[in-house]
Amino acid sequence: MGSFATLLCTVLVATDQAPAASAQDDAETAEEPTGGAGVSPIEIIPRVELRQSYVQMEGGLSVRDTTTEIDIQFLRRLLLRYEVPYRTIGSPDGQVSGVGDIELTGLGILTSSPRALLAILAGAVLDTASQPQLGTGKQQVFFGAGAAYKPRRSLLGYAVLLEKVSVAGQSARPDVNQLDARIGAIVFGRQYNWLKLDLDTLMDFQDDAGRLYGTLEVGSLVIGRVGLFARTGTQLLGTRQLDYSIAAGVRYLFRLETSRPAPH
């Protein structure tokens, strides 16, 4: 949802996919859905991602981001995500470009099983933008939790709750106080492809407003560990702020299953 509803559902994680060595390990290792590499919320896969997004706002304002994202795995149950965008904002008065706010996110698994998991996440948005209007507000911290359940190998549902508040920063930047709730589902194909649908409810306590967004994503691994994806979204309810958003990107996975699933 651009800079107005940022939620890291695609890095809600469970245990590493290494082979289990005992019955206890079997209980802790989440089964990988067929075709889920690089997108499943119940996996930790170190990766690098580059994506381009465009958001059209009300009033003729547009935001275009080129974002570099790096995921680093620690100790099977921890993940650190680093994101840095290069942002261009267009308006009837002109255009502003430069580096946006760097975002750091840490995720950890509380408990997991072959079909379900519970994870926590916390992080910060640093006011590193080269100009105040290129940022997402004052310096922020956020924290939350997520859960996922896999009723079938090809289907996974999940929910994430995230609170984001500003703690310091330049007076030229706006204060931030938002609660974001996401529910979503992923349908996995046979050959490392997927279809993902998200619904985000954003409560903006600073503006005393609530909004509902919808996002649809499709993607697939295309060559070895390289995957492509595209997504589109719009605002469904609430005081109108977003007309539409589109994004596309490429990701490289540093680790993958030993072989692709055979066609059926």
* Domain coordinates in residue numbering, the chain: 2-253
Burial of 151 (0-12, 13-18, 19+ CB in 10 A): exposed
pLDDT single digits (tens) 30-40: 444 445 566 66
Q: What does the alpha-carbon distance between residue 55 and residue 244 come to, in Å, rounded to a whole number?
A: 6
- pLDDT band of residue 12 (cuts 50, 70, 90) is very low
Q: Given 3.40.50.150, 2.40.160.40, 2.60.120.620, 3.30.70.100, which CATH number is that of 2-253?
A: 2.40.160.40
Average pLDDT value for residue range 203-210: 91
What pLDDT is stored for residue 42 in this prediction?
56
- pLDDT band of residue 76 (cuts 50, 70, 90) is confident
Query: Tokens 């529910």 identify what position?
Result: 183
Indicate whether 91 pLDDT > 80: yes
Q: Which is more confidently placed, 19 or 195?
A: 195
**Residue percentage of the chain with pLDDT more than 90:** 52
Sign of CA dihedral 197, 144, 83, 192: negative
Q: What does the alpha-carbon distance between residue 148 and residue 151 come to, in Å, rounded to a whole number?
A: 10
Q: Are 166 and 140 in contact (CB under 8 A)?
A: yes
Q: How far is CA 56 from the centre of its chain?
A: 20
Q: Are 11 and 109 in contact (CB under 8 A)?
A: no
Q: Which is more confidently placed, 154 or 201?
A: 201
Q: Are 11 and 23 in contact (CB under 8 A)?
A: no
What pLDDT is stored for residue 264 in this prediction?
36
Q: What does the alpha-carbon distance between residue 191 and residue 157 come to, in Å, rounded to a whole number?
A: 20
Provide the whole-model pTM: 0.81
